[in-house]
Amino acid sequence: MTHKPLLATVLGQRQERPPIWIMRQAGRYLPEYREVRSHTKNFLELCYTPDLATEVTLQPLRRFDLDAAILFSDILVVPDALGQNVRFEQGEGPVLDPVSAQTIAALKPERALEHLAPVLETVRRLGAALAPEKTLIGFCGSPWTVATYMIGGRGSTDQAAARLFALRHPEAFEALIDILVATSVDYLVAQFEAGADVVQLFESWALNLDDVAFEERVIGPNRRIVEGVRARVPNAPIIGFPRGAAGNLARYAARTGVNALGLDYATPLDFAVKHLPNTLPVQGNLDPLRLVAGGDQLDARVDSIIEAFSDRPHIFNLGHGIVPETPIEHVARLVDRVKNG
């Protein structure tokens, strides 16, 4: 079997130089992406058209020596597949018709995988197209994060609508989480069966929760997904990315059972080194705006991150998604720095 450095790192093998991929690496900072996007009616059409989704997934690997491709899709294809009205509005991002305690029962998990068939076809095509040493990453949103959009109707800075809903309507909230856990397990298993090498759980809104809520809404559902996937795909490699988890990071890693832990850019390097076992693979955590600014400060921060994690398996990445205004030459500089020092 061809050696895949990034997959090997997820599985606990330290590499001489850390492998690298970039969250949102297929996206608006690339003119070739903008060209493809300009010919689609909306963002979801792009996600559900295998020819186009395959093309934009591969675009960044043609420019840069990245070690992985990540499926081009979105975490909100799951509520869309469940029958919730999801749309992406120019200048506003995702907008959903909010679910209520009464309408959660109307969701249709039995139709989800059929609806997501085009995404799975994209995974199959990517598996056939990628060079053998490149890792193919699949993903889904974690239940709490997806639920915040389903309940609030859009992203928010404090997730107040979902937090209140969980407290005021605990039974309805648990029913929603149960649907999302089961659907996510089916979806991730299908991605592995279609050719994904590893999957990532995006818990993008792990912040703004007290310790009890974090245990119930983040750790519990993520653990159920990990266990559910591995019951059907033994030893499935899984990365967890609980953005904003802060002091809950070690607990999340230990209790969910993920293979590797993604770190956001607010996680201090010395905190991660001190509180995370050096056998635990970590991923991250460059501030995306350092990549926008570039220059000597970028080189210095890249070097300090690599040095901090030099005694453990480490995947170099940003601490959140790349932003549209990122200069392409800065990305090339980053990849070269990581690969060649």
Cis amide leading into 42 (omega within 30) = no
Q: Is 74 a catalytic residue?
A: yes
Q: Residue 174: CB partners within 8 Å, gap ≥ 6?
A: none
Helix axes 160-168, 143-152, angle to 10 degrees: 100
Q: Which of 29, 67, 74, 243 is catalytic?
A: 74
Q: Is 336 a catalytic residue?
A: no
Phi-psi category of 98—alpha, beta or left, where left has phi over 0 and alpha has psi -120 to 50? beta
Residue 206: what residue type? A
**Would you say 318 and 287 are in contact if contact means Cβ atoms under 8 Å apart?**
yes
Q: Which of 37, 232, 251, 333 is catalytic?
A: 37
Pick the closest to residue 43 from 52, 55, 51, 32 (CA basis). Answer: 52
Q: Residue 95: CB partners within 8 Å, gap ≥ 6?
A: 86, 87, 88, 89, 153, 154
Q: Is 301 a catalytic residue?
A: no
Q: Which of 29, 33, 48, 149 is catalytic?
A: 149
What φ, ψ does residue 199 adopt, rounded to 5°?
-125, 155
Q: Is 37 a catalytic residue?
A: yes
Q: Is 290 a catalytic residue?
A: no
The catalytic site residues sit at 24, 28, 37, 74, 149
